[in-house]
Structure 1
Amino acid sequence: MFIQPWDAALDDAEWQAWIADGHDFGVLSVNGPSGRAPVVVPTHFTATDGALLVHLARPNPVWAAIEAHPQVTFAVTGDYAFVPGPWRTKPGTPPTDGVPTSYYAAVQFTCQAAIIDDAEAKAAILRHQMAHFQPDGDHAPIAPDQPPYGRMLSGIRGLHLAVTEVRAKFKYDDHKPVEQRTGTARRLTERGTGLDAPAASQQLRRLDRIGPWQP
């Protein structure tokens, strides 16, 4: 992922807060066999102690790829929006000369993958994920010897993805003039389609921290 200086995360706390703010669905990418395309799997995840936790169905073709190449990438993307060219036109320039762009936030984790097959360890992954996704606890106990989850554990495998590198990008025109960034956020809010509102929020949040861009 190419990151311009003005698109880089301002600190680790920025991307960590973004992930914690409901950005818990991503794409696992694993090198395929030599000469073949990578194996790519969309999935929910949870984070804990420098690692990402995932569970997938046992028939998933990703397992052979991980066994051959345990260094993987997990990518999370969100708060994206298309920004039309006229919104980015410099003063005194015809609106049609403006160049469009995409806004988005993205965090890519490089990880060392370990496959989990122990029943209790898989149950622990599920408990961690349920505590995040279903915190009210309105589910049956998750244990190898209790239904309904106990009998289902054999149908899944767990993944412990130890994070070795993090690359974070917040692409919101932070190198452009303050007036233009403010105007784009207003237009995104007014348009209000797709993820326009969260993209505008990210732009205003970055604007508040950065102000005028200083190379």
Structure 2
Amino acid sequence: MLIRPWDRGEEAEWRAWLAEGRDFGLLAANGPAGSGPVVTPAHFVLDADRAEILAHLSAANPLWAALRADPHVTLTVTGDHAFAPGTWRAPDGAPPEHGTPTSSYASVQFHCTAATVDDPEEKAELLTRQLAHFQPETPGLSVTPGAAPFGGLLPGLRGLRLTVREVRATFTYDDKLTPARQAAAGERLAERGRPGDAGARRQLLRRAAARAGNLPA
């Protein structure tokens, strides 16, 4: 992932962005030679302080074969994305059609080393932690091997423990534009109102305010 210096997301910024409820991403592993990467969507639980990510997948998922060959994986979370047409971005005094279109988005990539969790007790503990995260409305719900309601499902699942080696984050929202042009782009996003525009506008204005010294990033 290309990250321009002016788009780089700092740790506090990407942590806050993920903490808003972004716990679903694409997990990519190296496939066999000539086959391309193996990519699977997955919910996950991030423990950033311990540099650890927990997930689980069906035992039939093709990702497991890829991990046996190479345990290095990348988990990507992307959101708040919008397309900005060139007519919004023309330099001052230039015809609108001379503007260069671009994509606005936030993306965080975790480069990790994967470890498979197959022990029933360890899988149960991992799934219990995920339930606590994703279903806080049912406190105390747990997984016990062989016991209802979830213990019988354990043989069909495998746990995944990812040790985070590097985090790379970008918040690509035209930070090279003048504050006035960024504000104008934000208004256009508000007027257009397509899916993703509201989130992109929120990030764009937040970044612009942070550059102006009005708010933390």
Shorter-chain TM range is over 0.9
Give a deviation string over 1:103-151, Cα, whole Å, max 9, x none.
0000011000000001121112211111121111179542113212000
Number of the residue aligned with 2:26: 27
Q: State how far apart, in whole Å, the 1-side matches of 2:126 and 2:203 are.
A: 31
> What TM-score results when the alignment is normalised by the length of structure 2?
0.93
Identity %: 50
Q: Which amino acid aligns with 1:193?
A: R
> What TM-score results when the alignment is normalised by the length of structure 1?
0.94
Residues 77 and 104, structure 1, Cα contact 8 Å, conserved in 2:
yes
Name the SS for the 1:146 alignment partner. coil
Number of the residue aligned with 1:122: 123
Residues 7 and 172, structure 1, Cα contact 8 Å, conserved in 2:
yes
Number of the residue aligned with 2:148: 147
Number of the residue aligned with 2:42: 43
Q: How does 1:155-170 map to 2 (within 5 A)?
A: 155-170=156-171
Quick check: 1:2 aligned with 2:2?
yes
Quick check: 1:194 aligned with 2:195?
yes
Quick check: 1:110 aligned with 2:99?
no
Q: How many residues align?
A: 211
Q: State how far apart, in whole Å, the 2-side matches of 1:139 and 1:25 are.
A: 23
Unaligned runs of 5+ in 2: none
Aligned-residue offset at 1:211: 2.5
Name the SS for the 1:194 alignment partner. coil
Name the SS for the 1:17 alignment partner. helix
Unaligned runs of 5+ in 1: none
Greater alpha carbon shift after TM alignment, 140-149 vs 29-38: 140-149
Aligned-residue offset at 1:34: 1.9
Number of the residue aligned with 1:14: 13
Number of the residue aligned with 2:137: 136
Which consecutive aligned stretches of 4+ in structure 1 deviate over 2 angstroms post-superposition? 138-141
Q: Which amino acid aligns with 1:204?
A: L
Name the SS for the 2:115 alignment partner. strand
Q: State how far apart, in whole Å, the 1-side matches of 2:140 and 2:43 are.
A: 18
